Chain A
Amino acid sequence: MIKKTSKEIKAVLFEEILKNVEKPGRYIGKEYNEIIKSGNDKMVKIALAFPDLYEIGMSYLGFKILYDIINSRDDALAERVFSPYRDMEDLMFKKKIPLFSLENYRPFSDFDIIGFSLQHELCFTNVLHMLKLGDIELHAARRDEKAPLVIAGGPSAFNPEPLADFIDIFVLGDGEEIIQEIIDIYKSWSIDGKSREKEILLKRLDKLTGIYVPAFYEVIYFKDGTIKSFQPKGKEIKQKIKKRIKLDLDCNHYPVSPIVPNIDIVHDRITLEIFRGCTRGCRFCQAGMIYRPVRERTEQKLMEIAEKSLANTGYEEISLSSLSSSDYSKIDSLIEKLVNKHCEQGVGVSLPSLRIDGFSVQLARQSQRVRKTGLTFAPEVGTNRMSKTVNKNVTENDLYQTVQYALQEGWKRVKLYFMIGLPTETWEDIEGIIGMIKRVESIGKRLAGKKFSLNISLNAFVPKAHTPFQWVGQEEEKLLLEKYNYVAKRIRSKNISYSYPDTKLSILEAVFARGDRKLCQVLEEAYKMGCKFDSWREYFDYNVWEKAFRKCNLDISFYTNRERKKEENLPWDLIDCGVSKEFLWLEWQRALQGISIDDCRLSRCNNCGLQDICNKLSEVKDNKS
C-alpha cells in the first residue's frame, strides 16, 4: 500500500468518509482541551492506543493521565487512536487509508511508540486488528528499529503471556513515572546513531522496574502443556518482574483539563480518583490484589483537583472513583465539602461502588442532594457461608437493612450484582441468591409500592490471575446455564428485571485471563478468521474461536475447567504484583474452609506480601504530616 500523509488522510476523511458513517464524531477529535502539537523530528511521538471504540476508551482515567503527562513535555507528544467500528473500517479499507490519530490524522505507523491500554482480556484481538489497520507487522520479532515500539499496560498486562509475541514491552503497575523514563530512554537511544538497534533499546528499558520484555524469556513446557520453567535469555535479565508503585499520589500529575468529548461517551463526567488500591480482599477480585497498597489522595488535593477540573471542562458531574469509595477515610467530609461548594451550580457528585451498609446510603443521600438516581449494591453471593468463602464479609441482614434504609430515604430503584459459578458453590447458594432477591423485592414492595424496581445482574465467575482463586477450574458451561435459567425462572416478577452475560464470552475471558504464550497463535488464527471486538455481542462468534483452537491443537478446557496444582508454574508467575503466591495459596485454603479474614486497614496486617511497601508508605505519610 502506498503510504498516505496526514493531509491526504484528513481530506479523504472529511470529503468522502464522514458523511457515510453512523457516528462520525468518533473519528475527528477536535474536542475542547484536545492537545494538538505539530511535532518535529526530535519529538518522541506516542500513540495512545485503545483497543475499543472512542466512547469506551475516552472513559478511562489512565488514558487521560498519560495523555496529560506526555503532552506536558516539550520533547514528546501523545495522540489518541481508537478502534474504528465496522462501517468505518469498511470505508477506510475501500478508500485505502490506514488507522490514524485524532489529533493530527497521523498514520499509526508514523509514531515512535504505540502504547496499548489493556482493560480486559476480550480486547486482545483488537490489539492485533489495530496493528493490522495501521500497516504494522503483528509479530514483535519481525518489527525492526524502524517500526514503532509497541508497549502495553493496564490490568490485563498482569497476565501478559497471550500477547507475548506481539508486544515489545509490557508495563506493569502505575504508569505516571515510568512513562517519563521510557521517553527519556527512547530519546537518548534514538539520537545515538551508532547503537540504534532495537535489542539495545529493549535492554535499556528492561532495567526499569515494572518493565517486562517477553522476548527475553523462553518458556519450556512439560508434555502435558503446563510450564516447566521460564528461562531468561542472558545473565542480566531479571528473574522476576516487579510492578511499579507510585507511593504518594498527591504529588502526582493529575489531568485537571481532560478532553471534553463532543459526543456522548460511556462515563461522561469528571473522574476524581480518591484512592488507588483496595484491601477488602475479596478473593475473586483481581483489581483488589494488583492495585495494592491503598494510597489515598488528601481531601485538600481532591478539592483542588475537583475545582480546577470543573472550571476547565464545564462538566456537570463528578464521580468519586476507586474500588470501594465508601472506604475513603474522610469520605463523609469530602462529599459534604464538594456538595457545598459546587451544588449551587447544579453540579452532581456521584458515588459508584457503594459498600453495603447504612453509612454508604447516608453518603449517597448526601451526595445526591442534587441528582437522585438508583442505588447499586454488589452482594455477589446469596449465603453467609459463601460470603465468608469469597471474603466479601457482608451478611444477608446487612443487605436487607441497607435496602430498607435506602427505600426509607426515598430511593425507588435498586440494582444488585450477583456472581454464579464460584468455587465450592452448591444449589443451596443458588437458592440463597433467589431468596435474597425475593426478600429484597418484598421489602421494596412494602416500602416503595408499585414504583419499586429491582434490577438483577447475574455474572459468571471467571477465575483470574493473581487472586486466591487462580488455581480453580471454571464452572462447566452446562451447569452455569442450568443455574442461570433456574434463577431467571424463579425471580420472574413485574418489579424485577435481570440480565446475564453470554456464557461463551465468559469462557473466552477465562481462557485469556489465565492463558499462556501458546495462545498467541490461537489469537492470531482467530483474528485472521475474523474475530475482533469480542466483548461486543454483535461481533462475538464463539464457533470461530473453537475452530482456531482446533487448528492450533489446543484444548479450551485446559485453560478453563482444569484445576491447577499448588506446585504448577503459572504463566504469570514471572510477574510480581506485590501480593505473594504463598499468601494467595493460604487464602485459597481459607476459602475452602469457609474462613474469612479482616481488612488489614481495620485490623492487623495479613502479610499479603506488601509489608515493606506499606512500611514505606507510612513513612511517606508521616513525612507529610
Chain B
Amino acid sequence: MSYIYRIKYSKVGPLKYVSHLDLNTLFCRTLRRAQIPLELTQGFNPRFKISFGPALPLGIAGRNEVLDISLIQEMDNDLIKEKINKFAPEGLEVQDIIAISKEENNLSKAINHAIYIIELNVSGYRSYLTRENLRNCFKNSIEKYLEQENIVIQKNTKKGLREVNLRPYIENMDIVSFQDDTVLIELTVDIQYKGSINPVLIINEFIKKPENKDIYINNIARKEFL
C-alpha cells in the first residue's frame, strides 16, 4: 500500500542557483534525514518514489513548487511538513501538504499553467513621461506584444539553433503594480502546450522591442501553478 502526498514548497535564496537535477538529490537527502518512510523503486538502483513538477530555470526562485511523494505508511500532513522543514537546507521550505489518491497522482495532468512574477527595472524608461502616461504607455506595449500572432525566436539547443514560437505558450501578461523605478508583471504560461518554457525568453523578447528600450529584468520568481 502506498500513501501519496502532494507537497508545495518554496525554492528560494541560495537554492535559486541549484539545478533541477541537483534539487532532486537534495530533496531526497532531506527526506532521508527527516526519516520520512518513502517507498523505494524496484531494481538494481532503488530510488525514492517521487515526482517533481516542471523544472525551474537556474536563477529563478519558486514560491509554490510541487512534488508528489509516495510513502509506505500513512503520516500526518503537518508532521511531514514539520519534519522536512526541520531538516531542509536554507532556501527550501514546505508550504503545504495534502494527501492525494492514486488516481490523482499525476502531476502533469494536475497543473496547466505556471504563473511568474517579474520585476522589471524601468528607471530609465521614457523618463520624460508623467507616471500616468508611463503606465498607459507600458500597458499598450504589453497589449501590442500580445497582439502578435507569432513571436518567433532562434533558440540555442543541443542540436544547434532552432526556431521556437513563443506566442502559444503565453496565456496572459499583465501589470500587477507600478512603482517609481519598478514594474511588477504577472506572466501566465501554458505548460500543457509543449511543456514548460523559460520565461526569460518571453520577457527578453519583450524588452528587446525598440519601444521598450531601457527596461531590464530585476528578478523573476514562479509564483504558483494552476
Other-chain residue from A263, A264, A316, A370 in contact with B29 (beta carbon distance below 8 A): A316
B125 lies within 8 A of chain A by Cβ? no
Q: Is the CB of A18 within 8 A of B59?
A: yes
Give B218's nearest chain A residue, CB to CB: A15
In the complex, chain B residues 7-36 whose Cβ is within 8 Å of any chain A Cβ: 13-15, 17-19, 21-22, 25-26, 28-33
Give A264's nearest chain B residue, CB to CB: B22
Q: Is the CB of A30 within 8 A of B33?
A: no
Q: A25-B17, A262-B14, A264-B25 are in contact. Are A31 and B89 (CB under 8 A)?
A: yes
Q: A30-B14, A262-B26, A346-B48 are in contact. Are A314 and B87 (CB under 8 A)?
A: yes
Bound Cα distance A372, B44 (Å): 6
A382 lies within 8 A of chain B by Cβ? no
A267 lies within 8 A of chain B by Cβ? no
Residues in B neighbouring A260, C-beta threshold 8 A: 26, 29, 89
Give A260's nearest chain B residue, CB to CB: B29
A451 lies within 8 A of chain B by Cβ? no
Bound Cα distance A310, B29 (Å): 10
A363 lies within 8 A of chain B by Cβ? no
Over the window 156-175 of chain B, the binary record of Cβ atoms lying under 8 Å from chain A Cβ atoms (1 yes, 0 no) is 00000000000000000000
B135 to chain A, nearest CB (A): 26
Give B88's nearest chain A residue, CB to CB: A32
Residues in B neighbouring A370, C-beta threshold 8 A: 44, 46
Give B18's nearest chain A residue, CB to CB: A262
Q: Is the CB of A262 within 8 A of B15?
A: yes
Bound Cα distance A260, B89 (Å): 9
Q: Is the CB of A24 within 8 A of B59?
A: yes
Q: Is the CB of B17 within 8 A of A18?
A: yes
B45 lies within 8 A of chain A by Cβ? yes
A561 to chain B, nearest CB (A): 45
Bound Cα distance A358, B31 (Å): 38
Bound Cα distance A365, B90 (Å): 38
Interface residues on B, range: 20 to 34
Q: A260-B29, A314-B87 are in contact. Are A28 and B46 (CB under 8 A)?
A: no
A362 to chain B, nearest CB (A): 18
Give A410's nearest chain B residue, CB to CB: B44
A26 to chain B, nearest CB (A): 9
Over the window 27-56 of chain A, the binary record of Cβ atoms lying under 8 Å from chain B Cβ atoms (1 yes, 0 no) is 011111000000000000000000000000
A625 lies within 8 A of chain B by Cβ? no
Bound Cα distance A310, B32 (Å): 9
Other-chain residue from B17, B28, B59 in contact with A314 (beta carbon distance below 8 A): B28
Bound Cα distance A30, B40 (Å): 29
Q: Is the CB of A30 within 8 A of B89?
A: yes
Residues in A neighbouring B131, C-beta threshold 8 A: none
A300 lies within 8 A of chain B by Cβ? no
B213 lies within 8 A of chain A by Cβ? no
Other-chain residue from A25, A29, A345, A346 in contact with B18 (beta carbon distance below 8 A): A25
For chain A, the count of residues having a C-beta within 8 Å of the partner chain is 26
Residues in A neighbouring B26, C-beta threshold 8 A: 260, 262
A315 lies within 8 A of chain B by Cβ? yes
Residues in A neighbouring B88, C-beta threshold 8 A: 32
Q: Is the CB of A314 within 8 A of B14?
A: no
Residues in B neighbouring A537, C-beta threshold 8 A: none
Bound Cα distance A473, B30 (Å): 52
Q: Is the CB of A316 within 8 A of B32?
A: yes
In the complex, chain A residues 289-314 whose Cβ is within 8 Å of any chain B Cβ: 310-314
Residues in A neighbouring B14, C-beta threshold 8 A: 28-30, 262
Residues in B neighbouring A314, C-beta threshold 8 A: 28-33, 87
Over the window 73-88 of chain A, the binary record of Cβ atoms lying under 8 Å from chain B Cβ atoms (1 yes, 0 no) is 0000000000000000
Residues in A neighbouring B91, C-beta threshold 8 A: 30
Other-chain residue from A262, A268, A346 in contact with B46 (beta carbon distance below 8 A): A346
Residues in A neighbouring B15, C-beta threshold 8 A: 262
Give B33's nearest chain A residue, CB to CB: A314
In the complex, chain A residues 579-621 whose Cβ is within 8 Å of any chain B Cβ: none
B176 lies within 8 A of chain A by Cβ? no
Bound Cα distance A31, B90 (Å): 7
Residues in B neighbouring A313, C-beta threshold 8 A: 29, 33
Residues in A neighbouring B32, C-beta threshold 8 A: 310, 314-316, 345
B58 lies within 8 A of chain A by Cβ? yes
Bound Cα distance A346, B40 (Å): 7
Bound Cα distance A311, B58 (Å): 29
Bound Cα distance A264, B13 (Å): 18
A309 to chain B, nearest CB (A): 11
Residues in A neighbouring B59, C-beta threshold 8 A: 18-19, 24
Residues in B neighbouring A233, C-beta threshold 8 A: none
Residues in B neighbouring A25, C-beta threshold 8 A: 17-19, 22
Residues in A neighbouring B21, C-beta threshold 8 A: 264
Other-chain residue from A32, A312, A316 in contact with B28 (beta carbon distance below 8 A): A316
Q: Is the CB of B17 within 8 A of A28?
A: yes
22 residue pairs bridging A and B, Cβ less than 8 Å apart: A18-B17, A18-B59, A24-B17, A25-B18, A30-B14, A30-B91, A32-B30, A32-B88, A260-B89, A262-B14, A262-B17, A264-B25, A313-B29, A314-B28, A314-B33, A316-B32, A346-B40, A346-B47, A371-B44, A371-B45, A372-B44, A372-B45
Interface residues of B (CB under 8 A from A): 13-15, 17-19, 21-22, 25-26, 28-33, 40, 44-48, 58-59, 87-91
Report, nearest first, the 3 A-B pairs whose CB atoms are least far apart.
A314-B29, A314-B32, A24-B17
Known A-B contacts: A32-B33, A263-B19, A370-B46. Give 19 more (CB < 8 A). A24-B17, A25-B22, A29-B14, A30-B91, A32-B30, A32-B88, A262-B18, A262-B22, A262-B26, A262-B89, A263-B18, A264-B22, A312-B33, A313-B33, A315-B29, A316-B29, A370-B44, A371-B45, A372-B45
